[in-house]
A and B are shown apart, each in its own frame.
Chain A
Amino acid sequence: AQSVTQLDSHVSVSEGTPVLLRCNYSSSYSPSLFWYVQHPNKGLQLLLKYTSAATLVKGINGFEAEFKKSETSFHLTKPSAHMSDAAEYFCVVSLHASGGSYIPTFGRGTSLIVHP
């Protein structure tokens, strides 16, 4: 079984300050982990992924995440928030299933609010 917990439903920051979106997971096997972003009225876009290579993963738009097995965490960070970062962010863990597909489990999402 696998699960994902996003610890904050809302995070509010000022433009230019650091961003931290927290994600904890549980998985019986070595997981694949992802962060997606969803802007209003849009589909989800991949920010970054971890698939058992380097534990510090760099993504698009200056975001990065660190896989910490001992803490079962995969927190998303960005040094300096921009107004355009305001969106919903989803942490996802995927487990390999039959037929070669992957069955993802999504967190409930964290809404990032950026103040001018």
Chain B
Amino acid sequence: ETGVTQTPRHLVMGMTNKKSLKCEQHLGHNAMYWYKQSAKKPLELMFVYSLEERVENNSVPSRFSPECPNSSHLFLHLHTLQPEDSALYLCASSQTGTGSVEQYFGPGTRLTVT
């Protein structure tokens, strides 16, 4: 595998379910990000982890819980979601401290909350 991978690619869940999204980067990067992309809205940065420490949390509801066990893996744990949480969830990684700060994105998980 190369680049940034995300699983599952599609997920349908009820409002009472608990599920997790997984992201894995194979680029040796030290920062990882979760984004939410909804139709007709700008891309929303949800969480940033740098060197496995959370450095940014843009007031995301507590029903979204991130986990970064190491620099290659990032999870987004979901519970008691609302229909308005249906969106494309994108993961990205970057290498900080080198002056090269572009992000590499995974293909996303299309989440539908019923």
Contact = CB atoms under 8 A, between A and B. Distances in A.
A, B bound = yes
A106 B92 CA distance: 14
B55 A104 contact: no
A108 to B, nearest CB: 5
Contact of B96 (A43, A51, A100): A100
B7 interface: no
A94 B94 CA distance: 12
Interface stretch (B64-72, B74-82, B105-113): B105-113
Contact of B42 (A41, A49, A100, A108): A108
A67 interface: no
A88 B110 CA distance: 17
Interface residues of A, number: 25
27 contacts: A34-B102, A36-B105, A41-B107, A41-B108, A42-B107, A44-B92, A45-B105, A46-B104, A51-B99, A51-B101, A90-B43, A97-B48, A97-B56, A98-B55, A100-B31, A100-B50, A100-B51, A101-B48, A101-B96, A102-B94, A102-B101, A103-B48, A103-B56, A104-B103, A106-B42, A106-B43, A108-B41
Interface of A: 32, 34, 36, 41-46, 49, 51, 90, 94, 97-104, 106-109
Interface of B: 4, 30-31, 41-43, 45, 48, 50-51, 53, 55-56, 90, 92, 94, 96-97, 99-108, 110
Given A101-B50, A102-B31, 6 more contacts: A36-B105, A100-B31, A100-B50, A102-B94, A106-B42, A106-B45
